[in-house]
Structure 1
Amino acid sequence: MRIGLLVIAGFLFVQHGFAQSDVAQPQSSRTGALATPADWKAVGQLKTRDAKAIKSSTWSIGGETLDRDYTDYQSYKTYLGPLGAKRIRLQGGWSKCEKVKGVYDFAWLDAVIPDAASRGVAPWVELSYGNPIYEGGGEAKLAGHIPTSPEALTAWDNWVRAIVSRYKNQVPEWEIWNEPDLNPTHTGTEIGQFYVRTARLVKSIQPHARLIALGMASVTKLDFVKDFYDELKRENALDLVDIMTYHGYAHNPDSSYPNIEKMRQLVWSYSPRVVFMQGENGAPSTPKAVTIGALRDQDWSELTQAKWDLRRMLGDHGRGISTNLFTISDIHYTAGDHMVGVNTKGLLQTNPDKTIKRPKLAYKAAQHVFTLFDDQVERLPSTKPAVSQETVTAFVYRQTKGNGSLVTLWNGEARPAEEYMPKPTTVTVKVQFTQPVFVDLVTGKIYEIPKKQCQKSGDEWTFRELPVPDYPVLIAEKSSISF
C-alpha cells in the first residue's frame, strides 16, 4: 500500500492506496475546513483504519445496483477495505440471476460476496426486484411491482430458496425488497403478505438469519408502515422483523429526525425488539444539472456532500440508529429504469465506463467516522451537553476501554453550505478529559484547544467560543485517538 502526504490549503491528508493526484480538491477557496483562529496549533492528522483492523461497528456502505450493472464491483473493491465500513448492502437481482426460466447464474454474486467478506466487510443482501420473464413477475427496476401471479410467486420462492441456500454461510442478513412505497399501487398490507411469505422461506433455510424490513423510501408514510405491521400481527409474524430500514432523503439531514422518531414509536408499539437502521442515505456531489436521484433539485459539491454525509452518519449514531451510507461508487442508470443518468452520491467518482477516477472528499470524511466510532465507543444518551447556540447538536460518547471521551458538535440550522462561517459556541459537559483536542472530521486535522478556552470545575468542562461549523467536529481525549 502506498502512503503519501498531500497539503491542501494548509491541511495534511494521509493517503492510503491511491495517488496524490487522486484526492478530491475542495471546490471553494475556503476548503470547508474550520476557520480556526490563528493561535490554534495543529498537532496531527487522524489515522484511518482498514475494515480488517476494526472488530465491529454499526457502519455499512452501499454497494447497490450491481444487479443492473450500474456500478462495477471489480473497479471499486480495492477501496472497500480501506474505507472502514464493516458491512456492505448488495442487491440480489432475481432478474439477473434467472434469465431463463429455472436456470440460475450466480457467477456475478460469487465474484462479490466472498471477496467483500475477505476484505473484512460483511455482505447483507436485499432480495429484489421482479422478473419480467414471468407473466405477473413484476419489473427489474426501482419502483417496480412485486410479483403477483401464482407462477411468478412460485418462481420467486424458488429463486429465494436457491440464493439463500447458496449464501447462507456467507450472508448473515437478508433485506426483503427495496422502497416498496415508491410504487403507488403497493399497499402496506400487500407488502406485509409478500414479506411474511419470503421471510418464512428464508428462515426455513437459514434459521439464524437476521431479517430486514422494510426499506421505506419515505419516513412520513406511517399508514403504510402501520398496515404492514398490522398484517404481520395478524399472521403472528412480528418476530420475523429484526431490523427496520428506511431512507427518507432531506435537504437538511437534521430535519428528518422528528418523523423518524414517530416511525420508531409506531414500530416499537408492535415489536420493541426491532433495531432501527438508516438503510440508504447520502448526498450528491455535483450541481443539479449533472446528478439524478434524490436531492437533485439543489446544487451540490464534493464539499457539501461530505458535510451532509457526516451529519447524517453522526445524527443517526447519536440517536442509536445504524447507518448504511449511500453509496460507495457513482451509479450509472440506463434507459428502462426509474431514471437515466449518473447519480453522483458515490464516495468514489467514476469514469463513463464505471471505473473509478478517484475518491471524493466524502470518502475521507467517512473514513474518519468509521475509524473513530467502532464498537469500542459507547453512547452516553443521558449526558446532555449545554450549548450556547440552540441550533448546535451535540452528543457524548466514552470509550469502553480506558477513559477517553468524545463529544460531537455541528450546526444543523440549514442544509450544508459551500461557504459557512463557524459560530462561536460555548459547550459545558460532564466528561472525563485529561488533554482534550479539537478534530475536524472533513480534513481529519487535529488541533490543540487553547488553555484560555478550557476550564475544568470538578467533573465538568467548559469550552468557550469553539468554532462550530455546519458539519460535525469533535472534542476528543488526545490519548484516545490515533494520529
Structure 2
Amino acid sequence: MKRIGKISPRTSNQIQSSRIGIGFECLDRKMWDDVDEVYDYAVATGAKYARVQTGWSRTELVRGQYDFTWLDRTVDKLLAGSIQPWLNLGYGNMLYTDAPAPDACGWVPLYTEEARTGWRNYIAALVRHFRDRVSLYEVWNEPYSKGFWLPGPPSQSEYVELVKLTAEVIRGILPEAKIIGGNTGTELWFAPCIEEYMKLGLGRYLDVYSYHRYRVMPEIETPEWINFYRAIFKKYGADHLELWQGEAGFPSVTSETEALAGVPMNEEIQARLLLRSLLTDLYLENDYTSYFTISDFKYYYKNGFRNKPNYFGLLTTDTPPRPKKSYDAFRHICTLFDSSTRRDKTTLATMETCNALAEKDRYSFHEKITSSNVVAFERNGRPLIAWWQKVSALKDSSPYPMNLLVWSPDKAFQNPVVIDPLTGEVFEYDFIYEKPDYRVKILDAPLKNYPMLLADREAVLNCISVEE
C-alpha cells in the first residue's frame, strides 16, 4: 500500500448533474441559523438538490399577505451555487386552524372550507412567486405521523385528498411542475398504508414518490423495500413514478429527540453511516437520494418550543459553523458519484481470503462475504467498485485484509487505485492483472465497516489530486 494523493472535492457549480442532494429542512421554524457560511459550505459539497420546507406559518402572518423574503434568500442562494431547491409544502397556520403554537407544525388545512381556501391561496401565491425558479413541489411531510398530521389521527384518504387539491392548484399555474408525495418509511407497518395510498389513486397526482429511512444499519431490508415500492406502483398503474429517498440521516451525538434517539453516536460513526446510506441508495438505483441534513438544530420546534438540540447536521451550529467528518465524507461521494458514475451490472466483483490455499480460512471467510456488499459501478468507461462489511458501524472499523477480484468483459483496469471516502486518501496497492480475462486482483485490500472504492486512475483523474 502506498498513499499517492487525496480526493479533490468538486463544488456544486463544477458538477453538471447527479442524484445526490442535501436537506435544508426546518428553516421554516428557524431551528438553525440562516447564515451565509452554511450556503458556502453547501455549495462546496457538490450536492445538486436541496429539500427546503416552505413554512406557511412563517410566510403568512396576516391573512392574504405573503412575505417570501426569507424563502427567496434560501432559494436564490442555492440556485446561485447550482443547487436546485425542491420545496416541501407545509405546515399549518394559526390563522386558519386550531394550532396552539405559532409553528402550527402538522396542523392540516383540510377540515374547514376556510382552511382549504387559505391553503389554496397560499399555494397559488407561492407557486406564482417561484414559478421561474422552482418546479419541484412536495405535498406535506410524513403524513402518516401523529405528530405531523393534526388534529389526527392520520388518514390515508385525507392525505390523498390534500395531495389532489394541492396538485390541482400547482398544475393550474405551472403545468410542467413535478409533484412529490408519500414520505412513508421502511418498516413493515408502512406496507398497508402504501397500498391504501395506491388503491385511493395517489399515483395519479404524483410524479415522484418519496420515502424516508432512519436506521442504524441502512442496508437492512432496503433492497426489499425498493422492490416493494416499485412493484406496488406497477400493480396500481403508477409505474411512471420516480422513487426518491427524501430523508435519511444520523446524529453525531447521542440524541434525545426524534429519530435514532438513544443510539450511542459520535462524529466518526455518523460519517461511516452516511457513506453506507448513500452507497446503498446509489447501487440500488434510486432516482435520487438525500442526506438529512445540512445543519444541526439549536432546538426543536414541533407544536411549540422544545429546548432540545438535534445533531443530524453535516455542520454544527457554532459561530461560524464547523464541518464534521460527515461533511467531508459527503463531499467525497458527491465528487465521485456524479452522473458520470453509474451502476454496472455486467462487471462482477468478489472477495477471497488472503490465504486462499487454506481450506479452513477459505470457507470461514464466506461468512464475511455474505455479510458484505461488493458492488460494481462504471465511471468514464472503466470499473469503479465499492465494498464494505454490513456490520455495526458503532464498533471499531479496523480493516480485515482480503483480496478483491474484479472481472469485466469490456472495461479494463490500467492503473487501479483504492480510495478511502472517509478520509479522502488515495492509495496504490499491489495487484495482479490477468489481461486475457480482463481480471484484476487487488492484494491485501481492507474490508471495513464503511465503503472503500477501487477505480482506475484514469477514470477519476478529475476527482483526485496526485502527489508526484
Aligned to 1:230: 199
**Shift, 1:74, TM fit:** 2.2
Equivalent residue letter for 2:136: E
Aligned to 2:365: none
Equivalent residue letter for 1:64: E
Do the aligned partners of residues 158 and 259 (structure 1) sit closer, same or farther apart at CA in structure 2, a change above 3 Å counting? same
Aligned to 1:210: 178
Aligned to 1:15: none
Q: Is structure 2 residue 220 aligned with structure 1 residue 284? A: no
Q: Which has the higher mean CA deviation after the structures are superposed, 170-179 or 454-463?
A: 454-463
Do the aligned partners of residues 144 and 433 (structure 1) sit closer, same or farther apart at CA in structure 2, a change above 3 Å counting? farther
Aligned to 2:360: none
Aligned to 1:156: 119
What are the Cα deviations for residues 100-155 of structure 1, in whole angstroms up to 9, with x where unaligned? 11111111111111111011111110001011221357974555445321100110
Q: 1:461 aligns with which of 437, 440, 461?
A: 440
CA distance in 1, matches of 2:425, 2:310: 30
% identical equivalent positions: 29
Do the aligned partners of residues 359 and 335 (structure 1) sit closer, same or farther apart at CA in structure 2, a change above 3 Å counting? closer
Aligned to 2:72: 110
What are the Cα deviations for residues 56-81 of structure 1, in whole angstroms up to 9, with x where unaligned? 11111000001001122324111111
What are the Cα deviations for residues 200-239 of structure 1, in whole angstroms up to 9, with x where unaligned? 2111111111111112255431111112122226xxxx34
SS at match of 1:169: coil
The TM-score, its normalising length taken from structure 2, stands at 0.87
Equivalent residue letter for 1:155: G
Q: Is structure 2 residue 28 aligned with structure 1 residue 62? A: no
Aligned to 1:174: 137
Answer yes or no: is the 8 Å Cα contact 1:437–1:478 preserved in 2.
Answer: yes
Structure 1 segments unaligned to the other structure (5+ residues): 1-39
Answer yes or no: is the 8 Å Cα contact 1:136–1:149 preserved in 2.
Answer: no
Aligned to 1:441: 421
**Shift, 1:303, TM fit:** 0.3
CA distance in 2, matches of 1:381, 1:226: 30
CA distance in 1, matches of 2:3, 2:93: 56
What are the Cα deviations for residues 24-58 of structure 1, in whole angstroms up to 9, with x where unaligned? xxxxxxxxxxxxxxxx1100011000100000111
Aligned to 2:81: 119
Aligned to 2:312: 345
Aligned to 1:385: 349
Q: 1:375 aligns with which of 331, 334, 339?
A: 339
Q: Which has the higher mean CA deviation after the structures are superposed, 256-265 or 181-190?
A: 256-265
Equivalence map 1:2-401=2 (5 Å):
40-75=1-36, 76-135=38-97, 140=103, 142-183=105-146, 185-220=153-188, 221-232=190-201, 238-257=203-222, 258-270=224-236, 271-288=238-255, 291-321=256-286, 322-334=288-300, 337=303, 340-351=307-318, 355-388=319-352, 389-399=369-379, 401=380
Q: Is structure 2 residue 370 aligned with structure 1 residue 404? A: no
CA distance in 2, matches of 1:313, 1:185: 33
CA distance in 2, matches of 1:61, 1:294: 18
Answer yes or no: is the 8 Å Cα contact 2:431–2:442 preserved in 1.
Answer: no
Equivalent residue letter for 2:258: G
CA distance in 1, matches of 2:197, 2:345: 30
CA distance in 2, matches of 1:59, 1:226: 27
What are the Cα deviations for residues 233-273 of structure 1, in whole angstroms up to 9, with x where unaligned? 6xxxx343211111121111111413343233222322112
Answer yes or no: is the 8 Å Cα contact 2:33–2:317 preserved in 1.
Answer: no
Aligned length: 431
CA distance in 1, matches of 2:254, 2:443: 37
Equivalent residue letter for 1:209: A
CA distance in 1, matches of 2:157, 2:443: 53
Aligned to 2:396: 419
Aligned to 1:23: none
For the aligned residue pairs, the C-alpha RMSD in angstroms reads 2.0
Do the aligned partners of residues 146 and 425 (structure 1) sit closer, same or farther apart at CA in structure 2, a change above 3 Å counting? farther
SS at match of 2:345: coil
Do the aligned partners of residues 468 and 158 (structure 1) sit closer, same or farther apart at CA in structure 2, a change above 3 Å counting? same
SS at match of 1:278: strand
Answer yes or no: is the 8 Å Cα contact 2:96–2:115 preserved in 1.
Answer: yes
Equivalent residue letter for 1:74: V
Equivalent residue letter for 1:436: P
Do the aligned partners of residues 254 and 168 (structure 1) sit closer, same or farther apart at CA in structure 2, a change above 3 Å counting? same
Equivalent residue letter for 1:375: S
Do the aligned partners of residues 381 and 340 (structure 1) sit closer, same or farther apart at CA in structure 2, a change above 3 Å counting? farther
Equivalent residue letter for 2:28: D
Answer yes or no: is the 8 Å Cα contact 1:438–1:448 preserved in 2.
Answer: yes
